[in-house]
Amino acid sequence: MNPTRLLGRAATVTAVAAGALALAVPAFAHVEVESDTAQALATNVTVTFTAEAESETAGLAKFQVVLPEGIAPGDVKVADAPQGWTFAATADGYTVGGPALATGKDAVYRITIRQLPNAKELVFKTLETYGDGRIDRWIELPQGGAEPEHPAPILKLAAAAPGATTVSPSTVAPSSSAASSAPASPSAAPSITASATPAPAAGSSDSSPAVPIAVGAAAVVALAAGGAWWWRRRNRPAGS
């Protein structure tokens, strides 16, 4: 066979095999974030999140988001979400969710942020929950220029407008909802250490159980000594 034709056939087989391998490897869904006002220190900004559904057995039902530094939970409110979904602020972010969407349906929701911080980018680490309890963790950050397997949604910001200033922080406390509040983030639990009972201080009225035992023993010894002396005196010869 002509060597050129052989090499061409081999290249064709390799290309087909590579294409088949690419089709066999499932692409990971992403949670994307975007905004028409992606600018540092911008106020009353609407941010849109789009999550691709990748489960073949259950629909998307809940998102738990950790807010970037510089955005307080009290400064965020829901602008739009699937019907029946509710929003609740948490200690470090918020949750939004409700009845599971149809299997394969992407989830889109929007939040309004009182003011964006003076930063170059904002990272919204997200836990994505399906109706069957499956959780996808979109929390990884790029390292060494490589795209992570489960990247966190990142919103790039333009530089702040000239003269833009930081508004006063919100004093609104995060709301809570038993139905949609996020589980508490891991934290160091209060230390519970068993300690020995402290010894009573000098002059304290507390006494050890050994004290009455010692007193009783001394009394018995004293009575025994007195009885022996009385017995000897009674039986001593007269005039001695």
CATH of the domain at 77: 2.60.40.2230
Q: For residue 63, is it within any domain?
A: yes
Digit-coded pLDDT (tens) for 130-178? 999 999 999 999 998 888 999 999 999 999 999 999 987 665 555 443 3
Q: For residue 89, is it within any domain?
A: yes
Per DSSP, 207 falls in state -
Distances (CA, A) of 221 to 35, 212, 224, 229, 232: 94, 14, 5, 13, 17
pTM for the whole structure: 0.62
Digit-coded pLDDT (tens) for 46-60? 999 999 999 999 999
Contacts of 137 (CB under 8 A, 6+ apart): 126, 127, 128, 150
Structural domain that includes position 132:
29-156
Q: For residue 187, is it within any domain?
A: no
Domains of the chain: total: 1
**Residue 215: its pLDDT value, please?**
42
> From CA 64, how far away is CA 204, in angstroms rounded?
57
Q: For residue 211, is it within any domain?
A: no
Digit-coded pLDDT (tens) for 214-230? 444 444 444 444 554 44
Q: For residue 20, is it within any domain?
A: no
Contacts of 52 (CB under 8 A, 6+ apart): 29, 30, 31, 106
- Does the structure show a pLDDT above 50 at 86? yes
Q: In terms of pLDDT, which residue wins out, 99 or 174? A: 99
Q: For residue 202, is it within any domain?
A: no
Q: For residue 205, is it within any domain?
A: no
Q: List, as own/partner pairs, every contact residues 196-204 make where C-beta atoms lie below 8 angstroms and the sequence separation is at least 24, other chains included.
A: none
Q: In terms of pLDDT, which residue wins out, 75 or 5? A: 75
Whether residue 32 contacts residue 50, with contact meaning beta carbons closer than 8 Å, is answered with yes
Q: For residue 13, is it within any domain?
A: no
